[in-house]
């Protein structure tokens, strides 16, 4: 989930154990890199509008049939709950969410072997967005309806911040050997460490949209979350 500003009240429906200490990175501050930003959706736009948003993001494009070959084969799918008679505001939100989720899944299904079925919904009362290990992912703010936030929240659904994640954080350091080994390989630093709190990890946790400068940051996020699955299974 997206942590509140320090001292802010907890969001309704947020994960009960969520903690947002001032020492952890504040998430998704709205400074979305241009290549990942969705265009403004027109009121009354068709629900599928904007699904191609972000296909030119960065130099690396996940692909299963050409270009960069996917090193993994994930199976992360989503279902977006829709009102039977959506308002123009809801239609615009559905279009932005579809664009964000489809772009996010291009990465997750190319660079992880994770299998998930995510239940996505638009809940205006949610201040930003929140994902939960129970399979739900809720978007509230239009600013949160972007691929970076979607990938961060899919990470929560995949277990980041869940009951198997917390015990691996010791003294602010993530101690799972598999994800730590991947980080060290990616950074070529044999002493590199993942930092974390009860809900989040960094670097590459996508806690800020502003921490992403290219597709490589998104790929590294996927590789680390994928490796965490082995840590969670120990």
Total domains present in the chain? 1
Q: What is the 3-state secondary structure (H, E, C) of 118-132?
A: EEEEECCCCCCEEEC
Q: Is 45 among the domain residues?
A: yes
pLDDT in tens, 94-128: 999 999 999 999 999 999 999 999 999 999 999 99
Query: What DSSP state is assigned to residue 56?
Result: T
Give CA–CA dist 206/129, Å, rounded.
13
pTM score, whole prediction:
0.76
DSSP state of 202: E
Place of tokens 């960065």: 58
Angle at 13 between CA 201 and CA 131, to 5 degrees: 40
- Does 32 map to a domain? no
pLDDT in tens, 31-75: 444 444 443 332 322 222 222 223 233 334 454 444 558 998 999
Give the list of residues 6+ apart from residue 29 with CB closer than 8 angstroms, or none.
Answer: 208, 209, 210
Q: Which domain holds residue 183?
A: 37-232
Per the DSSP assignment, residues forming a β-bridge with 80 are: 120
Residue 22 domain-assigned (yes or no)? no
Query: Do residues 25 and 207 make contact, with C-beta atoms less than 8 angstroms apart?
Result: yes
Give a yes or no: residue 21 inside a domain.
no
Percentage of residues of the chain with pLDDT beyond 90:
68
pLDDT beyond 90 at 190: yes
Q: Is 30 part of any domain?
A: no
């Amino acid at each position: 989930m997206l942590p509140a500003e320090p001292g802010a009240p907890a969001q309704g429906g947020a994960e009960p154990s969520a903690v947002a200490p001032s020492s952890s990175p504040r998430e998704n501050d709205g400074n979305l890199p241009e290549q990942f930003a969705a265009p403004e959706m027109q009121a009354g736009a068709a629900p599928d509008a904007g699904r191609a948003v972000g296909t030119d993001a960065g130099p690396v494009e996940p692909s299963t049939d050409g270009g960069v070959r996917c090193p993994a084969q994930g199976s992360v799918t989503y279902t977006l709950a829709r009102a039977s008679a959506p308002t123009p505001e809801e239609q615009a939100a559905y279009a932005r969410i579809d664009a964000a989720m489809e772009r996010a899944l291009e990465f997750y299904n190319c660079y992880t072997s994770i299998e998930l079925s995510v239940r996505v919904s638009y809940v205006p009362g949610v201040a930003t967005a929140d994902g939960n290990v129970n399979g739900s992912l809720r978007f509230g703010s239009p600013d949160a309806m972007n691929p970076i936030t979607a990938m961060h929240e899919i990470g929560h659904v995949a277990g980041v911040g869940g009951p198997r994640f917390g015990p691996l954080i010791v003294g602010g350091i993530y101690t799972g050997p598999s994800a730590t080994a991947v980080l060290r390989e990616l950074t070529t630093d044999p002493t590199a460490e993942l930092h974390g709190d009860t809900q989040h990890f960094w670097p590459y946790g996508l806690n800020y949209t502003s921490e992403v400068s290219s597709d490589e940051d998104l790929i590294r996020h996927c590789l680390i979350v994928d490796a965490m699955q082995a840590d969670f299974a120990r």
